[in-house]
Structure 1
Amino acid sequence: MSLLVKEWEARIELLRSIANSQRAIARILDSVADVSGHSPGMAKSIRENIRSLTAMQLTMAESAVGVKLRRPKCGRPARPWLHEAVSAPSGRHKHRQK
């Protein structure tokens, strides 16, 4: 088996593991939901632990996929910046042909 195939299988297994971990977190949250309502300290502790686990899972998923997974941002996008050598002529500047 080639090294590339082994690498992709390892990445797939890591993603599968992250998905299983997400299901486990969902089960934990479901089972402690009633108890945490009566104990604000426990709710805060659970929230902090879940945040830590989620951040760790995101980092692992990004390393497996090779892409940064960022939250979408709202707002107006900036105008694209292109170097003059690759941008289309706008008619303002006359380009010399060689």
Structure 2
Amino acid sequence: MKEWNRERVELHMLISLARSQRALCRIIESVADHVENSEQLAGHVADNLKSISDYQHALMLKLTKQSTRKRVNGKPAKPWLNKNV
């Protein structure tokens, strides 16, 4: 695939992803009033929205060729300071 064509496809996918995010925001706003009275429904909706958000995040990382960073647990190292500063 030619480079300019690939970039064009990626741009259209990112535009589509942004449109999807806006739609997701509208869904959240419209469902918020109905979920207010039911904790069980609120949990179910939150799980579904988390799944959609995770999918969109993975798609965005793939399109922008970014790798996911893994969190490292442990003791932080001593700060490194330049003696000339």
Q: Tell me the TM-score normalised to structure 1 length.
A: 0.67
How many equivalent residue pairs?
Answer: 77
Contact 1:11/1:64 (CA < 8 Å) preserved in 2?
A: yes
**Superposition misfits of 4+ residues, deviation over 2 angstroms:** 76-79
Q: Following TM superposition, by how much is the alpha carbon of 1:27 offset from its aligned partner in structure 2, in angstroms?
A: 0.3
Counterpart amino acid of residue 2 in structure 2: L
Over the residues paired in the alignment, what is the CA RMSD in angstroms? 2.5
- Structure with bigger gyration radius: 1
Compared CA separation, residues 77 and 7, structure 1 to 2 (3 A): farther
Distance 1:14 1:20 in 2: 10
Higher helix share: 2
Compared CA separation, residues 20 and 78, structure 1 to 2 (3 A): farther
Q: Identity of paired residues, percent? A: 28
Aligned-partner SS, 2:66: coil
Q: Tell me the TM-score normalised to structure 2 length.
A: 0.76
Distance 1:69 1:25 in 2: 23
